[in-house]
Amino acid sequence: MTGETDTKTVTGYPCIQRYLKTLDSSPGVYRMLDAQARVLYVGKARNLRARVSNYSRPSPQHSGRISRMISETASMMFLTTRTETEALLLEQNLIKQLKPRYNVLLRDDKSFPNIQVTDHPFPMIRKHRGAKKDKGAYYGPFASAGAVNRTLNQLQRAFLLRNCSDAMFDSRTRPCLQYQIKRCSAPCVGKISEAEYAASVKDAERFLSGKSTNVQETLAKEMAEASEAMEFERAAALRDRIRALTQVQTAQGINPRGVTEADVIALHLEKGQACVQVFFIRANQNWGNRDFYPRVGPDVEEAEVLEAFLGQFYDTKEPPKLILLSHPIENEDLMTEALSDKLGRKVEIAVPRRGEKSELVDGALRNARESLARRMAETATQGKLLRGLAEAFGLDAPPERIEVYDNSHIQGTDAVGAMIVAGPDGFIKNQYRKFNIKGDELTPGDDFGMMKEVLTRRFKRLLKDDPDRDKGLWPDLLLIDGGAGQVSAVREIMVEYGVEDVPMVGVAKGVDRDAGKEEFHRSGTRPFALRHNDPVLYFIQRLRDEAHRFAIGTHRAKRSKSQMANPLDEVPGVGAARKRALLAHFGSAKAVSRANLADLKAVEGVSEALAERIYGFFHEAG
C-alpha cells in the first residue's frame, strides 16, 4: 500500500505527477484527497500507473467535474489487488463507506423483504427482511413491504396457511379469528391433518415458484368435482381460493412468460439528476418495482452511473441469474464475474434490443423518466419552501438538513423522544432517530427535562461522529416542539457543548392552540408569527406533524412492548415450554411470582434447581 506524501503546498496536476514514480502496472484502487484529507474520489484501475497518468496532465477529455476534482487533489492513496475484479468490489465498498463528493453514490440502500415458509411440521408463511438465517424456504425479493403484504393476504385466503408465531401456535386451545374469517385452516387445534396442510403448503410454494397455472388448474378441477358431488360449501371455498390467486396476478400487472428470474434496471438522466428504476421479476411474476435517485454530477454518462449503481446495489443483495439494463456499462465482463462469484453461479448482464425483454426495459425506462420528472417538480417546490424558511428565520442560506424534535408519553410512562430529518429532497426517513428516555431523576411528564436529555445525547453523538462537521451529519436548523421554556432548556445544552452556532427555533401553538396560529421562539428575540396563509407556515406544520406522528408511533410501540412483557422471560433457564407449563399451572405470571417453593417444584418439567432459581428471582427482585 502506498500512502500519502507531503503534498500540502501542491495540488492538482503537479501533486498527482509525484505519485507516478511510485506506481507499477498492478490493478488496484486509488483515492484522491483534498488538503483536509477528505476523500474526493475513489476509483479502480486495471493498471494503476496508466490510470493515474491520465490525471497527471490536462486533457480535453476531462469533464468539468473531473477537472475540478483534479484541482482540489492534494494527496492520493493506493491499494493494490490481485485482480481487477477485486478492485471493482473494493472500489464500491469504499464508495459506500466514504461517500466521496465526486463519485456516483447510491443514497437509498435498504434491504428488500421476502416471503418465508418456515421449517415446521405446520409451516407458517410470513414476511421476512434481513439475513436468511432461519431454516425454511425464501421467495423474493419483493420491492416493498406493501407488495409482500398484498401477496401474503391473498395467499392466506387461497391456501389457508397460518401466520401466527410458533409459541402462539403451541399454546392455542381453540381456533383464532383467522380461522373464523377463513384465512387459516386452524392446524393448531387439529382442524386439518398434517398431510392436508402439507399439500396446501406445497401448492403455495408452487405458486411462489411460478407454477401458478398448474395450481389454478388443479383447484378448478377440484371445484368441479366438489360441485358434481353436491359439496357446494367446499366448491365455494375452492372458488374463493382461485379468485384470491387471480387477484395476486392482477395486482402484479406485468407477468412475463419468457423471463423467469431477472432484475430489470433502467436509468434516466436529466439536468444533473438521475433516476434508476428496478423491477423484480421472479418465477415469471412481477414482484414490484422501486425507484432510486443516486447522487450524480452534471456531466456523468449513463455507463458510469449504471456501473456504480450495480456495484453498490448488489454489495449487500443477492443478484438474480439475469440483469437487464437500459444502457451498456464499461466493464461488463468484470461486473459479470464479480456478481457470478457472489451468487455462486453464472449471472448474465444484457442490454436487450428486441422482444419481450426489450419491452420490460422500455417499461422500466418509462417509469424512470416519469418518476424523475415528478421528483424534479417536487424538488423545485421544496427548494422554494426552504428559501422561504431561511428568509423567515433569518438564516444565511436555505437549510440542507432540518432536524425536528418531539416527545411522547402518557403521564411520564413509556416516554420517548423522536427526531425526524428533512432536506431538499423531502423527508429523509433513514435518518430518523428515536430516544428512549432514561433519566431516572426526571419528574414524570417533565417535557423540558426530556427535551434536554434528547438533545444532550444528540450533540454528544454528533461531536463524536462528526467533530469537524464535514460529513453532512450536522443540522442547519433545529425545530423544537414547544415555546420559550423548551427553547431555553435546549439553549443551555447547546451552550454547554459549544454548538451555539446551530440555528434553533421553538414552534408553539398560539393562545387558542389552533393550527395556523403558531408562534416561533428564538433565544434572545421576541416571539413572532407568519401570516395565516403563508406556504412556509404550512411547510413547518407538516414538519411538526411528521415529528409528532413518528413520536406517537414510537411511544405506542414501546407501550405495547412493555404491556406484552412477561416477568418469566427474564428468569434464566425458563424457556417457552416451561413458561407455558408455569402459566398453565398457576394461571398468571403474578401468581408464579407469589408461589412458594413447594408449589413451584410440583409443576411438570420444573426441576428442583429451577424451582429454587425461579423462587429466588422473584423474592430477590421483591
Question: How much is the mean pLDDT over the chain?
Answer: 85
Provide the pLDDT for residue 186. Answer: 93
Provide the pLDDT for residue 5. Answer: 42
What are the tens digits of pLDDT across the range 366-380?
Answer: 999 999 998 888 888
Provide the pLDDT for residue 532. Answer: 81
Provide the pLDDT for residue 2. Answer: 47
What are the tens digits of pLDDT across the range 11-31?
Answer: 899 999 999 988 999 999 999
Query: Which own/partner contact pairs does 499-502 have at CB distance under 8 Å and 24+ positions apart?
Result: 499/459, 499/462, 499/463, 502/474, 502/475, 502/476, 502/477, 502/478
Confidence of residue 474 (pLDDT cuts 50, 70, 90): very high
**Which residue intervals of the chain bear CATH 3.30.420.340?**
261-373, 402-562
Provide the pLDDT for residue 7. Answer: 40
Give the CA dihedral 608, 609, 611, 616, nearest 10 degrees.
Answer: 140
Options 1.10.150.20, 3.30.420.280, 3.10.129.10, 3.30.930.10; CATH for 567-621 is: 1.10.150.20
Identify which of 99-103, 401-405, 581-585, 586-590 has the greatest average pLDDT: 401-405
Give the CA dihedral 584, 589, 591, 597, nearest 10 degrees.
Answer: 90
Of residues 322 and 209, the one with the higher pLDDT is: 322
The most distant pair of C-alpha atoms in the chain lies apart, rounded to whole Å, by: 92
Q: Is the confidence at residue 252, as pLDDT, over 60?
A: no
Q: Report the pLDDT averaged over residues 292-320.
A: 90
What are the tens digits of pLDDT across the range 415-449?
Answer: 888 999 999 988 998 899 999 887 666 666 677 78
Q: Report the number of secondary-structure helices (H) and strands (E) in the chain.
A: 20, 18
Q: Is the confidence at residue 412, as pLDDT, over 60?
A: no
What are the tens digits of pLDDT across the range 198-249?
Answer: 988 988 888 788 665 566 677 778 788 888 888 777 777 777 777 766 665 5
Provide the pLDDT for residue 159. Answer: 85
**Which residue intervals of the chain bear CATH 1.10.150.20?**
567-621
Query: CB-based burial of residue 420 (10 Å sphere; 0-12 exposed, 13-18 middle, 19+ buried)?
Result: buried
| Residue (of 317, 259, 291, 310) closest to 91 by Cα position | 310
Provide the pLDDT for residue 405. Answer: 93
- Report pTM: 0.72
Q: Which amino acid is at 583?
A: L
Q: Is the confidence at residue 548, as pLDDT, over 60?
A: yes
Q: Is the confidence at residue 536, as pLDDT, over 80?
A: yes
**3-class SS of residue 541:** helix
Provide the pLDDT for residue 124. Answer: 92
Q: Report the pLDDT averaged over residues 114-139.
A: 90
Q: Is the confidence at residue 512, as pLDDT, over 80?
A: no
Of residues 452 and 154, the one with the higher pLDDT is: 452
Give the CA dihedral 121, 123, 128, 133, nearest 10 degrees.
Answer: 10
Provide the pLDDT for residue 425. Answer: 84
Residues 381 and 481: their CA atoms lie apart, in Å, by 24
Q: Is the confidence at residue 537, as pLDDT, over 60?
A: yes
Of residues 565 and 293, the one with the higher pLDDT is: 293
Provide the pLDDT for residue 4. Answer: 46
Confidence of residue 268 (pLDDT cuts 50, 70, 90): very high
| Residue (of 503, 458, 505, 497) closest to 479 by Cα position | 505
Confirm if 35 and 7 have CB atoms less than 8 A apart.
no
In terms of residues, how long is the chain? Answer: 622
Confidence of residue 9 (pLDDT cuts 50, 70, 90): low
Residues 382 and 398: their CA atoms lie apart, in Å, by 10
Provide the pLDDT for residue 217. Answer: 73
Strand spans (E) along 97-219: 114-118, 125-128, 136-139
**Which residue intervals of the chain bear CATH 3.40.1440.10?**
13-98
Options 3.50.50.60, 3.30.420.340, 1.20.20.10, 3.40.50.1970; CATH for 261-373 is: 3.30.420.340
Provide the pLDDT for residue 214. Answer: 65
- CA 39-43-44 angle, 5° bins: 145
For cell 395467499, name the residue: 155
Q: Is the confidence at residue 411, as pLDDT, over 60?
A: no
First to last CA, the chain: 61
Q: Is the confidence at residue 129, as pLDDT, over 80?
A: yes
Query: CB-based burial of residue 48 (10 Å sphere; 0-12 exposed, 13-18 middle, 19+ buried)?
Result: buried
Provide the pLDDT for residue 152. Answer: 87
**3-class SS of residue 253:** coil
Torsions phi, psi of 279, nearest 5? Answer: -105, 135
Class of domain 13-98: alpha beta
Options 1.20.150.20, 3.30.420.340, 3.40.50.970, 3.40.50.10470; CATH for 402-562 is: 3.30.420.340
Confidence of residue 562 (pLDDT cuts 50, 70, 90): low
Q: Report the pLDDT averaged over residues 148-172.
A: 86
